[in-house]
């Protein structure tokens, strides 16, 4: 029997169907397309500290006065070509950072976090109007906690055994984006949409906290919705279609090639 005939016979065999793999399914999150959101810019927001040393010194002052510093950052997820993208800030074409910041000592955690998100991303004045301008942030699950054991740059996803008084705890929250929203970024920063595959196992470029986001989001299933509100793909399964890439949404010099192609391999702890 010829090879061609054997191949034809083999391809005619019925497929072996696997057993159901749907027990204890995780929560399903609906993701809306990047094109549903409006992006703009607002006045510069200079960094509080001119250097890493200055930032750690301010942390030490905060700790001596108020105790452990609380920091909240948001994982904002949308999709492009049916692949999840994370909205992320880039500072000085070098540092990547999630929206959010440390809480003031007197702040309630959730309300304080919403205020910090608004400082970074809410539109100002009459810049925009209509749907999505004043929508409140929907703070979802806590996806990770990172701990700073000492007055140094290293943070860990656990408290080392010999540490009894960590200096900072950073919580990463899942932010459920509505169907549409208006976001404005300070002019001295860029707002990027970074696909999950770009973050995965890419600590050299994004650092351990940001490169861990694909692992954190693997707990969810996703529904990908088009501009008309129709579900076009779901996970598990679905065809991602065109290969996505990092997109500059607002801020900076709007040089897409510069953001995606430059050697910007640091994250801001």
Q: What domains, with CATH codes, occur in the chain?
A: 56-263 (3.90.79.10)
The pLDDT of residue 57 is above 60: yes
pLDDT-based confidence at residue 6 (cuts at 50, 70, 90)? low
List all residues 6 or more positions away from 128 whose beta carbon is below 8 Å from its beta carbon: 38, 40, 182, 184
| pLDDT reported for residue 254 | 54
φ/ψ (deg, to 5) at 52? -65, -40
pLDDT at 192 over 80: yes
131-147 core/surface letters (b: 16 or more CB in 10 A; e: else): ebbeeebebbbebbebb
- pLDDT for residue 262: 41
Instruction: Kindly report, residue by residue over 213-268, the tens digit of the pLDDT.
Output: 999 999 999 999 999 999 999 887 655 455 667 878 877 765 444 333 344 445 55
Q: What is the mean pLDDT of residues 73-80?
A: 97
CA separation for the pair 145, 156 (Å, rounded): 8
Helices (H), 103-246: 109-121, 196-199, 203-211, 213-217
**pLDDT tens per residue across span 121-165:** 999 876 566 655 667 899 999 999 999 999 999 999 999 999 999
Q: Give the Cα separation of 216 and 269 in Å (integer).
A: 18
pTM of the model: 0.82
Phi-psi region of 125 (alpha: psi -120 to 50; beta: other; left: phi over 0): left
Q: Residues 167, 67: contact at Cβ < 8 Å?
A: no
Is 240 or 74 the better-scoring residue by pLDDT?
74
Neighbours of 50 (CB within 10 A): 9
Share of the chain above pLDDT 90, in %: 66
């Amino acid at each position: 029997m010829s090879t061609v005939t054997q191949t034809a016979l083999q391809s005619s065999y019925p497929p072996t169907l696997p057993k159901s793999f749907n027990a204890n399914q995780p929560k399903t999150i609906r993701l809306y397309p990047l094109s549903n959101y409006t992006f703009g810019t607002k006045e510069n927001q200079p960094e509080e500290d001119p250097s890493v040393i200055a930032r750690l010194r301010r942390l030490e002052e905060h700790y001596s006065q108020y105790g452990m510093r609380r920091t909240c950052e948001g994982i904002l997820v949308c999709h492009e070509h049916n692949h999840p993208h994370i909205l992320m800030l880039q500072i000085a074409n070098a540092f990547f950072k999630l929206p959010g910041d440390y809480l003031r000592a007197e702040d309630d955690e959730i309300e304080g976090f919403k205020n910090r998100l608004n400082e970074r991303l809410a539109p100002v004045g009459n810049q925009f109007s209509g749907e999505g301008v004043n929508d409140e942030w929907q703070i979802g699950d806590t996806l990770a906690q990172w701990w700073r054991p000492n007055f140094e740059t290293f943070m860990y996803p656990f408290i080392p055994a010999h540490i009894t008084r960590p200096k900072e705890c950073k919580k990463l929250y899942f932010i459920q984006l509505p169907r549409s929203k208006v976001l404005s970024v300070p002019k001295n920063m860029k707002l990027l949409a970074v696909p999950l595959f770009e973050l995965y196992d890419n600590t050299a470029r994004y650092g351990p906290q940001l490169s861990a986001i694909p692992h954190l989001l693997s707990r969810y299933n996703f529904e990908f919705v088009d501009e008309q509100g129709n579900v076009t793909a779901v996970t598990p399964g679905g065809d991602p279609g065109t290969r996505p890439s990092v997109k500059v949404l607002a801020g900076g010099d709007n040089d897409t090639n510069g953001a995606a192609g430059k050697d910007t391999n640091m994250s801001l702890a």
